[in-house]
């Protein structure tokens, strides 16, 4: 595929994407994915993932690397020879959770001395060798760019050495590795399009744990998406810390692929494939991306656009490189170009130096945008970040918490208002799984990424179903199916 131009690749793909796959073949693929590898070496690994979607996708890459080396997979850590925790450092709480988990695993290690415990991911990268001193049960520490070295590290560790590889890379994208899908609903999948981050938001540990930003080969992305479609997947989410700065030069043609270009290539793989992406950065989100979204029905009209704060002064201290006006201009562009688009966000309460007035500005920007959904956090100082070095973490915890509660309460109202706007409408739902509450109900997401629940009848996981929305809460929509959707046909 490497010698074709990107538009030729797309033409190639168009030939294949309509080939139907029977239900039983989808099942087969999934079973094969999770089965013992042909070169099974008698040992099994177990992996648990924490943190962001990119970290979950990394676990799927780790699973592929280990399977290639002959490891079997197990979903029960008590029968594993190698227990891996893929960790997150984003807030102190995330690291506390991992330390608690390691306490639990201590018992396993007491019972079976030859079990190996590995810590992967951002906490491994942040703490490096000191993690071995702090957590004595850990045998292997591996950073996010060193997963290809895992088989070697495990082999050495089996001889009794503690092993660490936390080298960061400027090139590694794992582009050639086909991830083993671990959450296997067989319907939705994550596809990483880039790694690392070159921004230096003052509060954020990610540039330190994930290294420099690099974009993955566009061909390998399109090929992975095509492979997912062949296996019956119906939705992909393209992942990067800042997808808008995706940039890859085709070495053959010197053609530069931007995020808007990549989005188009992925959308063209199949009109029946839903395409999502995360995360957009307000400073880099171009109208070009919005126009591409407008052109393709299968690119979901949903944007996660983290604001962090509504105050220009706080945004400046955060080094977010945009201000309140710039952010609101981007929201206006979304409303203009994509009138039905849902917007969600991330908000941090109580960043260093945040005054009551600054906080009021966050509440007011929430009110102006009326986000469909938000992830809301109390500021947590991370060692080594710009904020930790430059500023005092001077907002008392009670005040941070009070502000956070206000932000959450307001968001709940807005989510409810946004969901009420869907009452009486028909939304197209991609069915993902049975509902948590009742096996007689199915649930899935609307184009706008809202969770929709409806009675199962004879609908199947993976169907696109038109649902008439009859009830809602701030968290979900509920309705009744009116038929299979002709989405993309
Ligand atoms: N790349 C994404 C964010 C990744 S981290 C972006 O730029 O938007 C996900 C979210 O965690 C951030 O958006 C931020 O809201 C939150 N976060 C990051 N560091 C934090 C910290 N030190 N304390 C509290 N929340 C934090
Ligand atoms: Fe962190 Fe900022 Fe990079 Fe997002 S853009 S990962 S918040 S440094
Ligand atoms: Fe956490 Fe690392 Fe993701 S710190 S949020 S797992 S990039």
pLDDT value, residue 64: 96
How far is Cα 196 from Cα 268, in angstroms, rounded to an integer?
Answer: 27
Any idea which ligand is nearest the CA of 59?
A: 3
Q: Please check whether residue 84 is in contact with residue 120, taking contact to mean a CB–CB distance below 8 angstroms.
A: yes
Residues in the chain predicted with pLDDT less than 50, given as ranges, are: 1-4, 9-33
Q: Which protein residue has the closest C-alpha to ligand 3 atom 3?
A: 52
Locate 390 and state its tokens: 């430059």
Gap from CA of 398 to ligand 2 centroid (Å): 26
For residue 204, give the ligand 2 atom closest to its CA.
Answer: 1
> How many other C-beta atoms lie within 10 A of the C-beta of residue 438?
12
pLDDT value, residue 22: 29
With tokens 């940039």, the residue in question is: 247
Gap from CA of 203 to ligand 1 centroid (Å): 8
- 207 CB near ligand 2 (under 6 Å): yes
- 241 CB near ligand 2 (under 6 Å): yes
Gap from CA of 335 to ligand 3 centroid (Å): 30
For residue 210, give the ligand 3 atom closest to its CA.
Answer: 7
For residue 210, give the ligand 2 atom closest to its CA.
Answer: 6
pTM score > 0.85 for this model?
yes
In the chain, the domains with their CATH numbers are 44-165 (3.40.50.12160), 188-420 (3.80.30.20), 426-484 (2.40.50.140)
- 400 CB near ligand 1 (under 6 Å): no
Q: Please check whether residue 20 is in contact with residue 59, taking contact to mean a CB–CB distance below 8 angstroms.
A: no
pLDDT value, residue 27: 24
How far is Cα 94 from Cα 122, in angstroms, rounded to an integer?
Answer: 10
For residue 199, give the ligand 1 atom closest to its CA.
Answer: 7
- 228 CB near ligand 3 (under 6 Å): no
Helix (H), strand (E), coil (C) string for the chain: CCCCCHHHHHHHHHHHCCCCCCHHHHHHHHHHHHCCCCCCCCCEEEEEECCCHHHHHHHHHHHHHHHHCCCEECCCHHHCCEEEEEECCCCHHHHHHHHHHHHHHHHHHHHCCCCEEEEEEHHHHHHCCHHHHHCCCCCEEECCCCHHHHHHHHHHHHCCCCEEECCCCCCCCCCCCCCCCCCCCCCEEEEECEECCCCCCCCCCHHHHHCCCEECCHHHHHHHHHHHHHCCCCEEEEECCCHHHCEEECCCCCCEEEHHHHHHHHHHHCCCCEEEEECCCCCCCCHHHHHHHHHCCCECCEEECCCECCCHHHHHHCCCCCCHHHHHHHHHHHHHHCCCCEEEEEEEECCCCCCHHHHHHHHHHHHHHCCCEEEEEECCCCCCCHHHHHCCCCCCHHHHHHHHHHHHHHHHHHHHHHHHCCCCCEEEEEEEEECCCCCCEEEEECCCCCEEEEECCCCCCCCEEEEEEEEECCCEEEEEEEEECCCCC
pLDDT value, residue 184: 73
């Amino acid at each position: 595929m490497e010698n074709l131009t990107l538009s030729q690749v797309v033409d190639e793909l168009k030939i294949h994407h309509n080939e139907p796959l029977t239900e039983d073949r989808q099942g087969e693929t999934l079973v094969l994915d999770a089965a013992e590898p042909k070169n099974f070496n008698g040992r099994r690994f177990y992996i648990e993932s924490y943190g962001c979607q990119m970290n979950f996708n990394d676990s799927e890459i780790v699973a592929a690397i280990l399977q290639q080396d002959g490891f079997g997979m197990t979903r029960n850590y008590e029968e594993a020879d190698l227990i891996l925790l893929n960790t997150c450092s984003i807030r102190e709480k995330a690291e506390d959770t991992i330390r608690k988990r390691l306490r639990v695993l201590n018992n396993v290690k007491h019972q079976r001395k030859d079990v190996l415990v590995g810590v992967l991911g951002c906490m491994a990268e942040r703490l490096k060798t000191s993690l071995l001193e702090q957590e004595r049960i850990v045998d292997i520490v591996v950073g996010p760019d060193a997963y290809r070295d895992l088989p070697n590290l495990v082999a050495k560790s089996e001889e009794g050495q503690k092993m660490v590889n936390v080298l960061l890379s400027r090139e590694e994208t794992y582009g050639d590795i086909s991830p083993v899908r671990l959450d296997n609903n067989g319907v939705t999948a994550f596809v990483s399009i880039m790694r690392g981050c070159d921004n230096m938001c003052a509060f954020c540990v990610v540039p330190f744990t994930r290294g420099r930003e690099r974009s993955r080969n566009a061909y390998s992305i399109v090929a992975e998406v095509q492979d997912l479609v062949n296996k019956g997947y119906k939705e992909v989410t393209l992942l990067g810390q800042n997808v808008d700065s995706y940039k890859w030069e085709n070495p053959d043609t010197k053609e530069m692929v931007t995020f808007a270009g990549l989005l188009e290539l992925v959308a063209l793989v199949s009109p029946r494939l839903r395409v999502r992406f995360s995360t957009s950065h307000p400073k880099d989100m171009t109208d070009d991306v919005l126009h591409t979204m407008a052109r393709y029905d299968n690119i979901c009209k949903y944007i996660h656009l983290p604001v962090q704060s509504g105050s220009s002064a706080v945004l400046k201290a955060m080094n977010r490189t945009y201000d309140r006006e710039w952010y609101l201009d981007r929201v206006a562009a979304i409303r203009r170009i994509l009138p039905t688009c849902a917007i969600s966000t991330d908000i941090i309460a109580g960043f260093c130096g945040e005054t009551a007035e600054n906080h009021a500005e966050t509440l007011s920007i929430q009110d102006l945008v009326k986000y469909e959904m938000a992830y809301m956090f109390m500021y947590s100082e991370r060692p080594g970040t710009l904020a930790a070095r430059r500023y005092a973490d001077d907002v008392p915890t009670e005040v941070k918490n009070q502000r956070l509660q206000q932000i959450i309460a307001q968001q709940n109202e807005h989510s409810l208002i946004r969901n009420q706007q869907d009452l009486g409408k028909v939304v197209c739902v991609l069915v993902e799984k049975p509902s948590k509450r009742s096996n007689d109900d199915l649930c899935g997401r609307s184009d706008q990424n809202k969770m929709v629940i409806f009675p199962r009848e004879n609908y199947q996981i993976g169907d696109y179903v038109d649902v008439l929305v009859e009830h809602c809460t701030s968290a979900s929509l509920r309705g009744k199916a009116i038929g299979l959707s002709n989405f993309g046909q």
